[in-house]
Chain A
Amino acid sequence: GENVEQHPSTLSVQEGDSAVIKCTYSDSASNYFPWYKQELGKGPQLIIDIRSNVGEKKDQRIAVTLNKTAKHFSLHITETQPEDSAVYFCAASRVADSNYQLIWGAGTKLIIKP
């Protein structure tokens, strides 16, 4: 079955710097890759997603890149701010019929140092 690996497990960056979190997946049939942000004691919140027919997607300070050949995708946060501190999860899904199941990475705790 699908397996998603996420690195690093913890990332500490200076406020204003960029942060990059990387994920790899094993199932070449996966075609949907969302990123979620989870703050302490809350449910995950979708921040950006990308489908396999696109190589890059950007939304203000957040961008995601996808390399289908290498089977990896990355989250890029620029000009980091204290409110970006949270745990970030990547996921992969093989969208087919009514199967919406997500396979999750282990998560990355992002710490923004003031």
Chain B
Amino acid sequence: GAVVSQHPSRVICKSGTSVKIECRSLDFQATTMFWYRQFPKQSLMLMATSNEGSKATYEQGVEKDKFLINHASLTLSTLTVTSAHPEDSSFYICSAPTGGRNIQYFGAGTRLSVL
């Protein structure tokens, strides 16, 4: 299957700092990517849809100024958690659909721990 690379896999930061997470489609182009948040023992919660060359679409209740998304190229989307606080600690996962087949491939996830 297609490969989606997500970095970093784990980040620990102090409260108030910003953290950037990268999501890359390695062997295909993705005009759309998705960012999810997952709490322990729960399902994936869609945060936003990243659109190449235009603004991201955020789900209800997700602060766009808190979770900045940039989709600057057809293979890279970034999620920046600004002024992170302990309640932002979570597992963040990105995904990208392959063109024409609508199959989503996921990154390995990023475990964010805010102290």
Contacts and interface: CB of A to CB of B under 8 A. Distances in A.
Interface of A: 32, 34, 36, 41-46, 49, 89, 93, 95, 98, 100-102, 104-107, 109
A45 B95 CA distance: 11
Task: Say whether chain B's binding surface is mostly helix, strand, loop, or mixed.
Answer: strand
Contacts, number: 52
B102 A95 contact: yes
Contacts of A100: 32, 34, 97, 102, 104
B49 A44 contact: no
A15 B32 CA distance: 40
Interface residues of B, number: 25
Task: Say whether chain A's binding surface is mostly helix, strand, loop, or mixed.
Answer: loop
Interface string B1-38: 10010100000000000000000000000011010000
A101 B41 CA distance: 22
B43 A89 contact: yes
Interface of B: 1, 4, 6, 31-32, 34, 41-44, 46, 49, 91, 93, 95, 97, 102-109, 111
B44 to A, nearest CB: 5
Contact of B44 (A42, A98, A104): A104
Contacts of B34: 100-101
10 tightest A-B CB contacts, nearest first: A43-B106, A100-B97, A43-B109, A104-B43, A95-B102, A43-B108, A44-B106, A106-B43, A43-B93, A107-B43
Given A100-B32, A104-B44, A46 B103 contact: yes
